[in-house]
Each structure stands twice: as structure tokens, then as C-alpha cells.
Structure 1
Amino acid sequence: MRILFVVAPGVGHLMPAVPTMWAAQSAGHEVLVAATGPSLDMAARSGLAAVDVSDGDAADAYHRLGVRVTKNRPDRYDLSDAWRQFTGAADRPGPTAADRPDPAREDVAALVLGVGGRMVDGTVDLIRRWRADLLVFTTFLAGGQLAAEATGIPCVMHGIGLPYPSFAAVLSALEDVRARHGITGALTGPVATVDLCPESLRPPDAKAGWPMRYVPYNGGAVLPDWVSAAPRRPRICVTWGSVLPAVGGTPVLRDVVDALAAEDAEVVLTTGGADLSGLGPLPPNLRAVDWAPLSALLPSCAAVVHHGGSGTTFTALANGVPQLVLPQVADQPVNAQAVVERGVGVAFPDRDIDPAALADGIRRALTDRRIREACRQVREEIKAMPGPEQVVRQLVEAAS
């Protein structure tokens, strides 16, 4: 069977699906990745065949969106409200009249339209040239549904973390794309959803899909010796993901660095290759590295401080590592609230963070027994979920 995976330009949209792609190839199926920008390069470096389905417009739009939402980040997130609005109704194109505007939903709707819409034409062409049997699109790239609809093949949505809405209703705004491909009326929709969310983190109104264990994958790297050595002091990982450092979303890192300077801990700051010279002098207990796969680093860590991206959140969950989350944009406040509600960490929703409160939050993540026990429970829950090989069998059935 020929399975085409369609992913957004950011590597965080690709990596949660890579284990499924590998499992499909190992089972003897042909796998091709339709991508553009950073995720195209990461797909190739992950040992996967990939095709660029955009002339650069989609990747540029993704970068511009990242810059815009970072600059427009509100002074404070209402985490519980973000959780309620973002996860409450699967296919609402936006908040109802009774809701306050939700920046997380608005940011993702912009991703669906401004980025996914630019990838539909190239994906349709690739489906026909390669004669794909099934299309699998990752969360937030609902434009994959349009490509499947235009070519008459079934599609499946692959989650990347929490069971976020499909945003299928937003696609009605892509009138020019729909007209070019003769798509009228309601979409057939995906046959199913690959669901990475353990039940104890599932939002109340979110329906379960095909369960699949989250298998941490964060790219490959040649690891320095210290990564595999047992740390002499508690090791704390600080990571800001793959997007924020590139779009100027690092000012809050100075507060984090200052708070950690006084801790009796070994701090590892993964920079994603970004220039962090603006942070000024770094404390002696901090080690800055360009890229360290979290799947290799987090097993040795006592806590992780991060921005609330899906990949970081779920890699920490899978490794049972307490989290301190400082959400910045898009779905990050939703992930932060999930961490708080499940009791696996602490979150700070304010743009301006009190250094004393931040230091206290770090100590809570390191020492609170209830947090560590909740982390252990979720780690075991994830381990017990079906693996990617089971999902591949279900994909075959979906295409038949």
C-alpha cells in the first residue's frame, strides 16, 4: 500500500508521526512525506522519502505567522478558558458570540488557512503522480482533507498530542482552492484519528480515536559524553522548541536563566541553533547546546522548563519528567493547562514573570512528591497504549 503523510512546515508537526511512518515502512508499505520548509529537511534526515509540495509560500507563511503571534501574545493567558474554548467543540471555526476571543484558536485557524491552503495544490498533484492509496495528515493541517477529497482517496488525521479540533469547518473559507479542485458541499472527513492522548489527560468533550502510544522522536544527533553520564546534581532541561527562537520569542528565557542560576542543579539549555547572545552572561551551572534530542536528554533530567509545545510536553510525559510550562503562543496554553490539571507540573500564564515565583515553581517541580507520582502514573499509562505497528494495521483496513 502507498501511504502519503502530509505535514505542516514546522518540525514539531512531523516528529510525532515519524514512528508511524517507520512502522509502515517496516511492515512493507511504501511511505512518502509531503512537506515543505523545515519539516521537509527533517523528514529526509529521518530516513524518509519526501517531496516539497510548495514553492516556498507555505514555509514563508508559517514563519510570518510565528512572528505575528509571538508579537501579539497577550499579557496573560486564562489557561482554563483557553482549554475550554480550544477543546470544547471539535469543528467550530471560531468562538461563539458568547465566548471571549481565544487567541489560541485564532492562531491555529490562521495556520490551517494561511499555510495548509498553500500546500493543497502540490499535494493533489503528488497524490495523482504517485498514485497514493491513503493520505494521512497531521493535526493542524486540515488542508490535507481537501487534497484527499479532490482525488477521491480516504484520509486519516494523525494527532501530535492532545486531541485538538480538526478545524475542518475553517476550510470552507478556502473558496478558491475548493473551486480549483471541484470540491463542493461538506467534506467527507477523515476515516479516523490516530489518538496519542492518554485517557487521564483527555478533555471532557473530546472523543477518543485510535489509541497509539506516544513514541518520543526528536531527530538524531551525535551525543556528547555527558548526556549518557549520570548527573552529579539534579539536571534541569530548558528548551524553547524549534519555532520560538527563530521568531524572537526568547525574552522570557532571561528570567528563567536568572531563576536557575541560584539552584544547586545542572542546567542544560537547548537553543535550537538560535543566537542567544542577547541573554548576556550565562551562569556557571548552565550548559548551552545547539541541539540535543529530548528523547535522549530527558531520561536523565529531574525537570524540564519549556514553552508548552506538544512535542516537548508529550516527550516529558512519556519519560515521567515534571514540567514547568511558560506558554507563549498557539496551542501552548492548552498544553500548559493539561499539565496543571493532570498534576504533572506547574504553569505560568503571565508574560511578565515574578522571579521569586518562578524559582518557587522550579523547586516545586523538583521536589513535590504528588507531581512526581502523577508523572509516574502518566508514564505507565502511555507505556500501556498500543504501539505504531497496531495503527499501521488499522491504516491498511481504512484504505481497503
Structure 2
Amino acid sequence: MRVLFNVSPGLDHLYPALGLAWAFRTAGHDVAVATAGVSVDAAARAGLTVRDVAPDADFSTVFPKKGTPEERVRMMRERGAEITRSQRTPEIILEKFGLINDMMADGTLEFARAWRPDLIVYSRLQGTALLAARDLGVPAVENGFSFLREGDLPSRMLPHLAPTFERLGVPVELPFVQPVYFAPQKLMRGEGEGWSMRSMPFQGGGVLPDWLAAPKERARIVVTLGTIVPGVAGSGGLRSVLDASAGLDVELILALGDNVDLAPLGALPENVRPVGWTPLSALMPTLDGVVHHGGCGTMLAAAQAGVPQLAMPYGADNWINASIIESEGIGFDRQPEQVDGSVLRALVEDGPVRKNAAALAEELAVEPGPDHMVPRLVELAGKGR
């Protein structure tokens, strides 16, 4: 069977799909990825066949970087508040992804018609998959990468995709869509029906540095803001976390990527180790705590590893994810100015938070993984044809 993964141009869209992609490959199926932007090289580095469907597209025109960091953070927070309140993707996001989809539509449809997949798996805002699946008459599988169930999301996307469907001569109708969620139903929010599958956290490969390959000498906490927030908000908001670690026998790993300016943080305490891009999967087995922005990928990776968490929401669905951390008792939901030594201490000590985190990790470990999802999707593809 041939399975096409149609993914938006962003690592936060690609990485959640790679566990399922490799499950299909190891089960003997042919897999290709149709994407663009930074996702092209990342998918190739993950060992998959990739088609760049929009090599000349400038996606920064859709999401231009405007204003000061403070203004960008305010806009991010306002949008996050709207998502938290409505538990739905805002129309402005659907509108912008409608533009991104139009940029990728010609290349996606051309490749899909040539490659003839039996099934198309897509990151949840990638409407070109709906276009190609409708044209080919095959099912589309929405690969979830958030804790929001939005059963009406494809139908809400369709009006924003209609001009592209019409331009390419495809009926403005939805194909059959099967949502797949990457967490148990008990952790999901919103409304909608779908199949649940255990996530396989992936953040790329890497060579372990000496300090990470050696036994740690004290409790270790990683501080990360994911792939989007550092470029929007910068690093200055983390100063309170650094100050809160003073007097604690902990090592803080500052993992903000390769191109983040740390100057706004001032002098770094001796217990802080700044590192470049480091896959979370390499860090997790060594960690006693995680401080992050509330991103769903980081939150779930820590939950599966049984690592207590401190979420400092910035935008998007971050507050929803942080509320799950609080409700499950696996960590804390705080803003940077609310972080002090007692919060960091609670992450690393043997207390109720660590006990709850370990219990949830055991619960998540027995959820069916991508290897169990593949036969169901193969059956779905057979019925779809």
C-alpha cells in the first residue's frame, strides 16, 4: 500500500507524524512525504522519501514578523486566550493556512496524481490533503498534534480552501476524513470522534555531547520554549526561572536552539548550561524536571517520560495544555513572574508531583502505538477504494 503524508511547512507539524510514518514503513508499506519549507530537509533526515511541493514559496509573507517582541507576545497571548475560551482553531488561522495551502496545492495535487497513494495522512491544517484525497477518491487521515478535538475542523476549513479547489478543477467537497488523536481520550479537550494512538515523540537525531553521555552530578531541569516561541518572544522572559534556581542544587539546561540571543538574560548563573539544538528525546532520560512554554509536543514527551513539568503558557493552545498538567497533578501552570524556588524544588523532589507523573507515564505506556494503528488504517484504505 502507498501512504502519502501531507504536512504543513513547520517542524511542529512534521514531527508528530513521523512515528506513524515509520510504523507504515516497518510494516512494509511505501511512504512519501509531500511538504515544503523546513519540513523538507527534516523529513529527509528522518529517512523518508520527500517531495518539495512548493520550492519557491515564501511562507513568511503569510506570517510576517511584525512589531517589537512585546507586541508579538501580546498578539500571541490574545490568540491563545481565544483558543482557550472557544476550544477551536480561530478563523484567522484557517484563513492564513488557506493561503499556505494554496501555495502548496499545485505541487501536492500533481505529485499525488502521479504517485497514486491509497491513503493520505495530513497534519490537521493541511487542506491540500483534503483536495488530493477528494480528487483521487481515497480516505484522508487527520493526524492530531494537539489536545483539541475539533470534529468540524475539515468542514470549517473547506470555505477557505474553496477557491483552490475551484482553481484546480476539484469538486468543493470533503473526502472521508478519519481523525487520529495522539493521546488518550481522557486527556483530550473539545468535541469530536476519533481513534486514539500513543504518540512517539520525535525531535530529530543528534550526536550526544560528552556531558549528556556521562552520569549527571545533580538534579537536572531543562528549560525549552519549542520551535516557535523563541523567535517571537526572545529569551528575556526566562530570567525569573534562572533567578529561582539560585540556592538550589540543580543544573539548568537552557535548550533554546542555535539562533536565540541570550544577551537579554544577562550573566548566566554557574548552574546554567546553554546548549544548541538538542533533541528532547536525548535529554528526557536524564531529567528531573522540564520547564517549557506549554507546547503539546513537549508536554506529552515529558508526560510519557514521567518527568514533572512547569508550563509557562505563551499562546496558541498552551493554556489548554498547562491546565491538563495541573489537573493531572503532574506539574504546574505559572507565568514567569510567578516562578520561584519552591516551584522548581517541587519539580525535582520526591513528592506527589513526581508520583503522579510516574503513574501517568505508566498509563500512557500501555496505550496502543502507531504499530497497532497501521492495520486499522490499511483496512480503512481498502474500504475507501
TM-score (norm 2): 0.88
The 8 Å contact of residues 221 and 291 in structure 2, kept in 1 or not, is answered as yes
1:147 is aligned to 132
2:187 to 201, 213, 218: 201
The amino acid that maps onto 1:18 is: L
Please give the alpha-carbon distance, in whole angstroms, between the structure 1 residues aligned to 2:72 and 2:102: 19
Q: For structure 1, list consecutive stretches of 5 or more residues without a partner in the other structure.
A: 88-103
Q: What amino acid does structure 2 have at the position aligned with 1:39? A: S
Report the CA distance shift for 1:361/1:208 in structure 2 as closer, same or farther (over 3 A).
farther
Matched, 1:219 2:204: yes
CA distance in 2, matches of 1:111, 1:76: 14
Quickly say closer, same or farther: Cα 1:379–1:170, change in 2 above 3 A: same
| SS across alignment from 2:274 | strand
Matched, 1:178 2:165: yes
1:189 Cα deviation after fit: 4.0
1:220-239 aligned within 5 A = 220-239=205-224
The Cα RMSD (Å) is 2.6
CA–CA distance in structure 2, aligned partners of residues 381 and 72 of structure 1: 37
Instruction: Identify if the C-alpha distance between structure 1 residues 174 and 77 changes in structure 2 by more than 3 Å, giving closer, same or farther.
Output: closer
Q: What displacement does 1:30 show?
A: 0.9
Q: 1:334 maps to which residue?
A: 320
Against the structure 1 CA distance between its residues 55 and 308, is the aligned structure 2 distance closer, same or farther, given a 3 Å change threshold?
Answer: same
Asked whether the equivalents of residues 320 and 378 of structure 1 are also in contact (C-alpha less than 8 Å), the reply is yes
User: 1:184 offset after TM fit, Å?
Assistant: 4.3
Partner letter of residue 16 of structure 1? Answer: P
Counterpart of 1:360 in structure 2 is: 342
Q: Which moved more, 1:165-174 or 1:262-271?
A: 165-174
1:17-96 → structure 2 map (5 Å cutoff)? 17-57=17-57, 59-61=59-61, 64=64, 70=73, 72-74=75-77, 82-83=83-84, 85-86=86-87
Change in Cα spacing, 1:74 to 1:214, as seen in structure 2 (3 Å) is closer
Deviations 1:310-349 (A, max 9, x none): 211111111011111111122222222222222221112x
User: Could you tell me how far apart the structure 2 residues matched to 1:75 and 1:84 are?
Assistant: 11
Deviation (angstroms), 1:221: 0.4
CA distance in 2, matches of 1:392, 1:242: 29
* CA-CA distance at 1:56 after TM superposition: 4.1
Give the conservation status (yes or no) of the 8 Å contact 2:306–2:361. yes
Would you say 1:389 and 2:374 are equivalent positions?
no
SS at match of 1:57: coil
Provide the secondary structure at the position in 1 that maps to 2:120.
strand
Letter in 2 for 1:182: G
SS in 1 for 2:108: helix
* Structure 1 contact 135–153 (Cα < 8 Å) conserved: yes
Deviates most, 6-15 or 142-151: 142-151
- Corresponding residue for 1:188? 175
Task: Specify the alignment match of 1:321 in structure 2.
Answer: 307
Q: 170-179 vs 374-383, which deviates more?
A: 170-179
Matched AA of 2:76: R
CA contact (8 A) 2:127 2:161 kept: no
Secondary structure of 2:310's aligned partner? strand
Q: 1:154 to 1:184 in 2, by over 3 A?
A: same
Secondary structure at 1:54's aligned position in 2?
A: coil
Contact 1:3–1:30 (Cα < 8 Å) also in 2: yes
For 1:187, the aligned partner's letter is L
What CA distance in whole angstroms lies between the structure 1 residues aligned with 2:56 and 2:75?
Answer: 24
Question: How much does 1:248 deviate?
Answer: 4.3
- Relative to structure 1, is the Cα distance of residues 249 and 152 closer, same or farther in structure 2, using a 3 angstrom cutoff? farther
Q: Distance in 2 between matches of 1:262 and 1:9?
A: 42
User: How big is the shift at 1:69?
Assistant: 5.5
Higher mean displacement: 113-122 or 66-75: 66-75
- Letter paired with 1:239: T
Q: Which secondary structure state, in structure 2, belongs to the residue aligned with residue 354 of structure 1?
A: helix
- Structure 1 stretch 312-321 or stretch 59-68: which is displaced more? 59-68
Q: CA deviation at 1:213?
A: 1.4
Distance change >3 Å, CA 140–CA 341, structure 1 → 2: farther
Shift of the 164–57 alpha-carbon distance from structure 1 to 2, 3 Å rule, reads farther
Decide whether the 8 Å contact of 1:70 with 1:328 is kept in 2.
yes
Q: Which residue of 2 aligns with 1:281?
A: 267
One-letter amino acid of the structure 2 residue matched with residue 390 of structure 1: H
User: Aligned with 1:64: secondary structure?
Assistant: coil
Aligned-partner Cα distance in 2 for 1:111–1:341: 33
Paired positions, count? 376
Contact conserved, 1:139 with 1:164, CA < 8 A, in 2? no
Q: Is the contact between residue 245 and residue 271 of structure 1 (CA under 8 Å) also seen in structure 2?
A: yes
Within 5 Å, which residues of 2 pair with 1:285-304? Answer: 285-304=271-290
| Closer, same or farther: CA 329–75 of 1 in aligned 2, 3 Å | closer
Q: Aligned pair 1:127/2:130, yes or no?
A: no
- Residue aligning to 1:253: 238
Asked whether the 8 Å contact 1:66–1:244 carries over to 2, the reply is no
Instruction: Report the CA distance shift for 1:266/1:66 in structure 2 as closer, same or farther (over 3 A).
Output: farther
